[in-house]
Amino acid sequence: MVERVRVKALTPPGHVRAPWYLRGKEGVIERPLGHFANPEQLAYGLKADTKPLYRVRFRMAEIWGEGAENPDDTLDAEIYGHWLEKVDAHAP
């Protein structure tokens, strides 16, 4: 089963690990990569919680819209789970 996710469209201050151009975009989990210390906390010398990391696949049409040169090409990005939200497969 393909798990659809959306990168949260947040704009918190400070060091974050979700690319701007992917925030608010939908993709699919390509595969889980394991659990790692949260780099957003490590950047400030804080004790870091362990977070799951995923490889998420996005279609170019999702990222760049109608201006995508090759809309069915894909881009894979490694994104921590706290930046992802599930997309209801049954939503219109």
Question: Which residue ranges make up each domain of the chain?
Answer: 4-86
Structure pTM?
A: 0.90
CATH topology for 4-86?
Answer: SH3 type barrels. (2.30.30)
Alpha helices in 21-74 (DSSP H): 39-42, 60-64
What is the model's pLDDT at position 1? 65
Name which residue leads in pLDDT, 30 or 1. Answer: 30
Q: Is the dihedral of CA 69, 72, 77, 82 positive or negative?
A: positive
What is the model's pLDDT at position 91? 62
* Averaged confidence pLDDT in the chain: 94
Answer yes or no: is pLDDT of 16 > 80: yes
Tell me: the pLDDT tens digits for 56-71?
999 999 999 999 999 9
The amino acid that residue 56 corresponds to is V
Rounded CA-CA distance 54/76 in Å is 10
